[in-house]
Structure formats: C-alpha cells, structure tokens
Amino acid sequence: MRTGLIAQKEGMTRIFDDQGRHVPVTVLRVENCQVVAVRSEAKEGYTAVQLGAGNAKVKRTSKAMRGHFAKGKVEPKKKLVEFRVDEAGLIEVGAELGANHFIVGQFVDVQGKTLGKGFAGGMKRWGFAGLRASHGVSVSHRSIGSTGCAQDPGRVWKNKKMPGQFGNETVTTQNLKVVGIYPEEGLILVKGAVPGHDQGWVVIKDAVKKAAPADLPMPAGLKQKAGSAAPAAAAQEAPAAEAAPAEDVKE
C-alpha cells in the first residue's frame, strides 16, 4: 500500500479519444506536494506518510505548526493529509511528489468536500415526492408528510430523513479512470466528476476496489527536476547519429 496525493480541483473540460468521442474529465493540479513527516512503527505504532500541499503565509501559521514544518525543513503548507502506508511505502521527509505518481489507465478514488447548499427541504435533500397537488392539500405540497406513528413507538426514529443541512460533507468518488497525465504542468485528468468546488482540495488514492497496475511507481512518483530528462534524451539521439555512417557504407 502506497501513499496518495493532495491536489486542487481546477474544473471540468473534455478531451477526445482515438474514435473522436468526447470524454468529460476533471482537471486536478498537483503542486508543492511534499512529505512533511513520517510515522514509524517503532515510535508511533503505525506507518504513515504526512503530506502537505500549497504554500501558506508564515504569519498565518500558528507557532506550533511553524515548529512542525521547521522540523521537517519544509515551507508552511495550506493542506495536510496523512496516508497509511506499508513499511516499503515510506518516503523521506522533504521529498516532493508529482503527477507521475499515477499512470494513464489506472483507477483512483478521489475524496473531497461537496458544495454546501444550506438548509434544504426533504424534496431537494432526499428526493421525496411531496404531497398531492389536489384532494385537500393546501400550502403544504412540498412538505415531507408524516414522520412516525402516534402511540407506538410514540417518537421519531433516529436518522429519519428530514429537512436540514444539505451538502458540505466529505464524499469519496470511487473508480475514476485516469485518462491523462502531464508531469511538467502537474496535471492529472480523471474521467467524470469529482466532489468539491473549483480550487478546492481533494485527495487522490489508488482505487481500493480495482487491482493496481504492476508498473506503478514505488514507493511513489517523485517530481523530476528540470533538466533531469536531458541525459536520457541525449542517449536516445546517440544511436541515430551513429546510423548515418552506416548508410554511407551501403552506397
């Protein structure tokens, strides 16, 4: 089991597949996602990785949290999330993770906080049908109706669906397919909708109900520094340069 990522929801758009069919996708941005702390079995009794994302102002960070970030030698973060991992999934403090932590084609679970819609009635909140439009119903067409019996049990059952706060709760959308990865821009495109508003924080993890691909980066996909791919590109161009004299020999 490996760690997940903290990302920001940028919004929705669409892309086109090889057959020309449009695919609705949600754009997630991974930026400044670093390991802030590590939990070990010997000290804390469990193994986990604490990630932080987004840069926070020092003056808006509490003194205790400033000391926490200073211990890990990382800048203050806006969002902190702890991920349970195996012993092999631990990462050194200060390492920065990138969008290449996931691969195209795999399935992920995305967790976020839904849009808050305030106090809502039973029809909007739970999909109740409401009362009849006629036959004596007056000024109460959208009410929920009876909420229980009179004498037995003589009370309203616990967890009864009633009007109340709608939205603004943590929701996990499972089995979303990754259809695009752009490590340079730190963008991840997942098929379908993701809970939360634009610029809201979401947590991306490997899907628990789908088998993980065998070629996933282990223990994590670390962000590559600028210029790190240059030697690999030069190595790919070398055989092409050596192929030119061979053609001259054939002539």
Domains of the chain: 5-116+169-224 (2.40.30.10), 117-166 (4.10.960.10)
The pLDDT tens digits for 78-119 are 999 999 998 888 988 989 999 999 999 999 999 999 999 999
Instruction: Kindly report which listed range (16-30, 179-193, 209-223) carries the lowest average pLDDT score.
Output: 209-223
| pTM, to two decimals | 0.78
182 φ, ψ to 5°?
-130, 90
Q: Rounded CA gap, 132 and 130, in Å?
A: 7
Is the pLDDT at 66 greater than 60, yes or no?
Answer: yes
Q: Tokens in use for 188?
A: 């991840």
Nearest to 14 by CA among 192, 181, 185, 183: 192
41 φ, ψ to 5°?
-65, -35
Instruction: Kindly report which listed range (15-24, 97-106, 218-227) carries the lowest average pLDDT score.
Output: 218-227
The SS3 assignment for 23 reads strand
- Calculate the alpha carbon distances from 25 to 1, 28, 42, 153, 174 in Å: 26, 10, 42, 49, 15
Nearest to 5 by CA among 62, 85, 69: 85
